[in-house]
Structure 1
Amino acid sequence: MLGNVRGRKSSREKILDAAAELVAEIGAGRLTLDAVAERAGLSKGGLLYNFPSKDALLQAMIQRMIDQVSDAKESLRAQMAPGPNLEARLVATTLLNMCCGGKMQEVATGLMVASAENPRLLDPVRGVISATLEQVKANSDDLDAALLGWLAVEGLSNLEMHNLSPFSDQDRERIVQAINRLLTKGIAK
Structure 2
Amino acid sequence: MAANNKSKSRSTTRELLLRSASQVVIEKGVEALTLDAVAQQAGVSKGGLLYHFPSKDALMQGMVEQLIQDFEMTLEAEYDQDDTPGTSGQWVRAYIRASLRISQKTLALIARLSSIAANSPQIFESAHTYQQQWEKRIESDGLDPIQATLILLVSDGLWLSEIFQIGTLEEPRRTQVVEALFTMTRAATK
- TM-score when scaled to structure 2? 0.87
Equivalent in 118, 134, 137 of residue 135 of structure 1: 137
Gapped runs of 5+ residues in structure 2? none
Does 1:180 pair with 2:182? yes
Does 1:91 pair with 2:95? yes
**Displacement of 1:119 after TM fit?**
1.3
Tell me the amino acid that sits aligned with residue 88 of structure 2: P
Q: Residues of 1 paired with 2:20 and 2:146: CA distance? A: 42
Equivalent in 170, 173, 183 of residue 171 of structure 1: 173
**Displacement of 1:162 after TM fit?**
2.9
Equivalent in 132, 145, 148 of residue 146 of structure 1: 148
- Pairs within 5 Å for 1:1-189: 3-4=7-8, 10-80=12-82, 81-82=84-85, 83-98=87-102, 100-101=103-104, 103-186=105-188
Greater shift in the superposed pair: 105-114 or 141-150: 141-150
| Change over 3 Å in CA distance of 1:4–1:162 after alignment to 2 | farther
Q: How many residues align?
A: 182
SS in 2 for 1:117: coil
Gapped runs of 5+ residues in structure 1? none
Greater shift in the superposed pair: 44-53 or 114-123: 114-123
Q: Residues of 2 paired with 1:69 and 1:153: CA distance? A: 14
**Displacement of 1:4 after TM fit?**
4.1
**Displacement of 1:184 after TM fit?**
1.2
Q: Residues of 2 paired with 1:142 and 1:19: CA distance? A: 40
Percent identity of equivalent pairs: 29
Cα offsets for 1:165-186 (capped at 9, x unmatched): 4310211111101111111122
Q: Cα RMSD (Å) of the superposition?
A: 2.0
